[in-house]
Amino acid sequence: MVAPISDIAPRALRGPSALRLLAIGILVFASACCGLELSDLIAHTSAIWIANGILVYFLLKHPRREWIAVLATGLGANFCADIVMDDSIFAATMLTLCNAVGILIIAAPLQLMGLHGDLARTKPLCVFYALALGAAPMASGLLSAAFFHFTQGRDFLSAALDWYATDALGYSIVVPILMTVHVDAIKRMFAADQIVGTFLVLGTVAGTIALNYFTGYPLAFLLFPAVLLLTFQRGFAGGSIGLLMAAAYLMTPVLMGAGLSGLKPHSLREQIIIVQIFVAVIGFSVILVGATLAERRRLESGLAAAIVRAETSREEAVVAKDSAERANRLKSMFLATMSHELRTPLNAIIGFSELMHGELYGSLGDARYREYSGLIQGAGHHLLSLINDVLDMSKIEAGKFELHRESFDIREIIRDCLDLMRERAQHSDVELSEDIQATPLEIKADRRAIKQILLNLLSNAIKFTPAGGRVIVHAKSANNSLVISVEDTGIGIPADQVSRLGNPFVQVRNSAGAAHEGTGLGLALVRALAEIHDGRLKIESVLGQGTIVSVVLPGTSDRLQSASAGLGIAQDAA
């Protein structure tokens, strides 16, 4: 057995159900008949035409592929209403076409611009009112006025204005309310926790109506703030109920020939127009206020969601920070352990290479063996220096580096470091000198750490200073602070890379793109050792002229001041 095509076709390709189309037809037919009957009862005076507004609502609520069915049903119902109310087939056809023009001028642009989903937002609402109060009723009004003028001899301008007024009021009142009021909102108004407040604000509107009716004074203007209060408290749903209450109170006496006291001097036509405009203004205000409140609630909801996301992100960041710190501690412990493990066999390699290089137990024979043992010894010393830097850095990061403070003259440390580095400077053809004051430079610090700072700075300055250059060590006291500076005539550091220096494992490459030998830990170690002495590091450099790095070490008064230390290009800091 083969299934029918309707069962096979995707749901998206099907049109609206027959039951829904029947409901649309009944609503449009009933509203059109009521509008025509009302017009007859009040001597053919224009009344709000709600049938077109209902059909616009159903078009906006259906996808464009279903519009033909919805539009045909609604216009067919409108046509039938005209026939039932004694219009000729020709007249019913022409008037239905005029209605179709206005309906499509509103619905089509909103759908094409994607603004048909929610009239509670400012942009869709403004576009809707521009169409509903402008192009749509104007176009259909001109067409209908031409028809009435040529077939019934009516005054063209008067007929156009009547059609415009009834259509514009119907669109502007019916469509926004139907689009913004939801059954769930009405149910929430009368929920157990809301019902008392709902009846209180509804009582405000009812009290305003009673005050206006029983006192005989023209107090209808009080309905406006009362309905707005209801809108503020209960949103679109509350405002719509208040609008219906006000409209019923204002319109019923007029239709029964007993208009309100302020309207009695006017003709029936003028009374109806005034009441309709008043209701339309209240409805317009309800929609604008409701849209503003809805937008505020959306913003509050978005802000609340953003706060929740921010709090979640903060908690995740705290967890990530803890994990990173834990991983960093584990890394430092691993490096410290490995450094100890590596130093033990490395010391043996260095010791035996020194014995071989010195030929303590006899000649090695071939001269190349002596050269090779010297290379082993130099490489071993270099590797031991790197391992010591890693070990010290890991201790500092783990907070286990212990300072053994003692008072000493920094000049002794400077001269010791110069003696240790002099051979390397001579080998690189770099002039090494000092410029320190004659009086003692007392400081209370860890002697080994200060010596390590100076050796690292001197090593870097010599490494990055070309042959024929100079490295000068300065030292002086100023404002109870110790100022040490190592000045070089190296090739300098690019300004955009100076800020990177002093971080672990950072090397600045030279113009050829190559980095010098080292790990990039030396300068980071200098910074760390200075900081645990309550000092700081400062780097200044001019490309092609040289470099100055500032290390801050407090003097005997423990005050923090600036100190300068030189460093050559690349600041590998190894």
Residue 119 pLDDT class (50, 70, 90 cuts): confident
Q: Please check the confidence at residue 158 and state whether its pLDDT lies above 90.
A: no
Residue where a domain terminates, one of 128, 148, 180: 180
Predicted pLDDT of residue 55? 92
Q: What is the mean pLDDT of residues 57-80?
A: 91
d(CA 40, CA 259): 18
% residues pLDDT > 90 (the chain): 10
Answer whether residue 571 is part of any domain: no
List all residues 6 or more positions away from 573 whose beta carbon is below 8 Å from its beta carbon: 456, 460, 501, 502, 506, 507, 518, 520, 521, 522, 523, 524, 525, 526, 567
In the structure encoding, which two tokens stand for residue 561, read together?
Answer: 């001041």
**Token output for 185:** 């909102």
Mean pLDDT of 472-478: 82
389-398, 429-438, 457-466: range with lowest mean pLDDT? 389-398
Is 292 part of any domain?
no
Q: How far apart are CA 62 and CA 385, in angstroms?
A: 79
What pLDDT score does 333 carry?
74
Residue 476: the pLDDT is 78
CATH number of the domain that residue 531 is part of? 3.30.565.10
Residue 217: inside a domain: no
Q: Is 141 in contact with 167 (CB distance < 8 Å)?
A: yes
- Inside any domain, residue 187: no
Count of domains observed in the chain: 2
| pLDDT for residue 139 | 93
Residues 6+ apart with CB under 8 A from 285: 224, 227, 228
Q: Which of 155, 180, 205 is the last residue of a domain?
A: 180
Lowest mean pLDDT among 53-62, 159-168, 202-211, 290-299: 290-299
Say if 459 falls within a structural domain: yes
- Long-range pairs for 223-230 at CB < 8 Å and ≥24 separation? 223/249, 223/250, 223/282, 224/281, 224/282, 224/285, 227/282, 227/285, 227/286, 228/285, 228/286, 228/289, 229/201, 229/204, 230/201, 230/202, 230/204, 230/205
- Where among 141, 164, 180 does a domain terminate? 180
Q: Average pLDDT over the chain, rounded to whole? A: 79
Q: What's the mean pLDDT in 278-299?
A: 79
Average pLDDT over residues 29-37: 85
Of residues 533 and 357, more confidence is placed in 533
Alpha helices in 61-88, H assignment, sequence order? 67-84
Q: What is the pLDDT of residue 508?
A: 55
Q: Read off the pLDDT of residues 238-272 as tens digits, 9 standing for 90 and up.
A: 888 888 888 777 777 766 666 565 666 666 666 77
Q: Which one, of 470, 500, 482, 477, lies nearest residue 566 by Cα?
A: 470
**pLDDT at residue 367 greater than cutoff 80:** no
Percent residues over pLDDT 70 in the chain = 84
pLDDT tens digits for 316-341?
888 888 888 888 777 777 766 776 67
Q: Which has the closest alpha carbon to 470: 403, 363, 568?
A: 568
Which domain does 467 fall in, by range?
405-554
Residue 484's pLDDT is 84
| Dihedral sign computed on CA atoms, order 269, 273, 276, 279 | negative
- The stretch 199-213 carries a mean pLDDT of 85
The segment with the largest mean pLDDT, out of 67-71, 302-306, 401-405, 542-546, is: 67-71
What is the mean predicted confidence (pLDDT) over 466-479?
85
- pLDDT band of 138, cuts 50, 70, 90: very high
- Res 41: pLDDT: 63
In a domain, 392, yes or no: no
More confident residue, 113 or 510: 113
Residue 477 token pair: 């006291």
Average pLDDT in the 180-200 region?
83
Global pTM value: 0.51
The predicted structure's pLDDT at residue 267: 65
pLDDT of residue 564: 38
Minimal CA–CA distance to 289: which of 224, 379, 228?
228
In a domain, 515, yes or no: yes
Does a structural domain hold residue 89? yes
Inform me whether the pLDDT recorded for 353 exceeds 60: yes
Q: What is the pLDDT of residue 571?
A: 38
Residues found in the chain? 574
The neighbour count for residue 389, using CB atoms within 10 Å, is 23
